[in-house]
């Protein structure tokens, strides 16, 4: 008679279902072992143990080897921690309410076999902060559109809402026409579009998701004349610097740096560049 051979899908799994009562416990690795939550959220570490038998499951905090739970009992004065288990199930979980950064770290789910077996779980408690894309200041020409995009990063679940404020007041559709807010909770993104901006639309704008720190940006709406003046000033500075660099290359203008220095007094950046070039000129000569 041929000998019956039994194979196993896992080195730690029982050889057959007839031997369950005699098999060693093993971990079901289908549970998530790297958990990230934001401050104030509830974190749940789920440990699933097969063939537990009469052994006990404990949760250990790795950094100080503190026993947090054994079975359904909790062994810490911090009431935010709680052991969770449904009778008859293979899941032995630990829940941490209102998670804080100090709760971050490695926790071990440990089974009282001989020798003991354990499985590590990492908890990350992060500070979620919204971010308005771009620089901290935005300059918009009068009549153009203000287009702001806010992203709520490092959050495990979509925000319930994302509010936009101007100053201390919620941006209201009824305040003026041409205001459009587009929020996508799945991508944790919100866009504020203000059409045909006027000088009155200048101010501090804030994006405030329900579960993240807010982010702000200062918007300047400038008239066409101011825009042209700014461009002209930039061109004049650029032309002065070009003349200085040309003079430096030919090395034939001993007094020119002084004249350029006097003509660029209104621009701090140009002044610094002139002094550097002037020093280098005489050093080389």
Which helix (DSSP H) or strand (DSSP E) does residue 116 occupy? none
Are 112 and 183 part of one and the same domain?
A: no
In a domain, 3, yes or no: no
Contact between 101 and 127 under an 8 Å Cβ cutoff? The reply is yes
Mean pLDDT of 29-46: 91
Sheet holding 162-166, edge to edge: 137-141, 215-222, 203-209, 162-166, 169-170
Q: The domain containing residue 85 runs over which residues?
A: 17-126
Angle value at C-alpha 225, between 224 and 229, nearest 5 degrees:
120
Are 33 and 112 part of one and the same domain?
A: yes
Within its chain, how far is the Cα of 44 from the centroid?
21
Identify the residue whose tokens are 């039994």. Answer: 6
152 or 234: which leads in pLDDT: 152
Q: Is the pLDDT of residue 61 over 90?
A: yes
Are 82 and 36 part of one and the same domain?
A: yes
> Which pLDDT band holds residue 225 (cuts at 50, 70, 90)?
low
Q: Is the pLDDT of residue 10 over 50?
A: no
Are 43 and 117 part of one and the same domain?
A: yes
Mean pLDDT of 175-204: 90
Pair of tokens at residue 98: 């209102």
Q: Which of 88, 105, 126 is the last residue of a domain?
A: 126
On average, the pLDDT of the chain sits at 78
Mean pLDDT of 21-30: 82
Are 197 and 229 part of one and the same domain?
A: no
Backbone torsions φ then ψ of 213, nearest 5 degrees: -70, 150
Q: How many domains does the chain have?
A: 3
Task: Give the pLDDT confidence of 190-213 residue by residue, as tens digits.
Answer: 999 999 999 999 999 999 998 888
d(C-alpha 93, C-alpha 285), whole Å: 78
- Percentage of residues in the chain having pLDDT higher than 70: 69
CATH number, domain at 162? 2.60.40.10
> Which pLDDT band holds residue 284 (cuts at 50, 70, 90)?
very low
Q: Is the pLDDT of residue 78 over 90?
A: yes
Q: Is the pLDDT of residue 285 over 50?
A: no
Are 202 and 241 part of one and the same domain?
A: no
At residue 16, the pLDDT reads 45
Q: Which of 222, 240, 270 is the last residue of a domain?
A: 222
In a domain, 78, yes or no: yes
The answer to whether the pTM exceeds 0.75 is: no
Are 21 and 120 part of one and the same domain?
A: yes
In a domain, 4, yes or no: no
Least confident residue range of 67-71, 87-91, 144-148, 264-268: 264-268
At residue 231, the pLDDT reads 45
d(C-alpha 82, C-alpha 91), whole Å: 14
Mean pLDDT of 73-84: 96
């Amino acid at each position: 008679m041929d000998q019956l051979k039994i194979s196993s899908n896992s080195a730690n799994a029982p050889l057959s279902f007839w031997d369950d009562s005699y098999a060693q416990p093993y971990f079901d690795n289908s549970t998530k072992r790297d958990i990230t939550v934001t401050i104030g959220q509830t974190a749940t570490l789920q440990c699933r143990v097969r063939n537990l038998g009469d052994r006990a499951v404990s949760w250990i905090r790795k950094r100080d080897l503190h026993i947090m739970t054994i079975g359904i009992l909790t062994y810490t004065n911090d009431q935010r921690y709680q052991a969770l288990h449904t009778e008859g199930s293979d899941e032995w979980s630990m829940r941490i309410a209102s998670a804080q950064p100090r709760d971050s770290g490695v926790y071990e789910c440990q089974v009282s076999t001989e020798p003991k077996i354990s499985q590590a779980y990492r908890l990350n408690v992060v500070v979620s902060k919204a971010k308005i894309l771009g620089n901290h200041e935005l300059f918009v020409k009068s009549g153009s559109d203000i287009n702001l995009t806010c992203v709520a990063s490092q959050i495990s679940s979509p925000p319930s809402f994302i509010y936009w404020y101007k100053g201390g007041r919620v941006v209201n559709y009824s305040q003026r026409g041409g205001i459009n807010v587009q929020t996508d909770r799945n991508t944790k993104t919100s866009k504020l579009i203000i059409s045909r901006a006027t000088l009155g639309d200048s101010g501090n704008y804030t994006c405030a998701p329900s579960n993240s720190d807010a982010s702000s940006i200062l918007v300047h709406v400038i008239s066409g004349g101011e825009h042209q003046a700014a461009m002209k000033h930039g061109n004049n500075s650029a032309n002065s610097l070009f003349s200085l660099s040309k003079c430096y290359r030919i090395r034939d203008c001993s007094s020119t740096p002084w004249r350029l220095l006097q003509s660029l007094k209104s621009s701090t950046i140009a002044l610094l560049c002139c002094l550097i070039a002037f020093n280098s000129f005489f050093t080389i000569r």
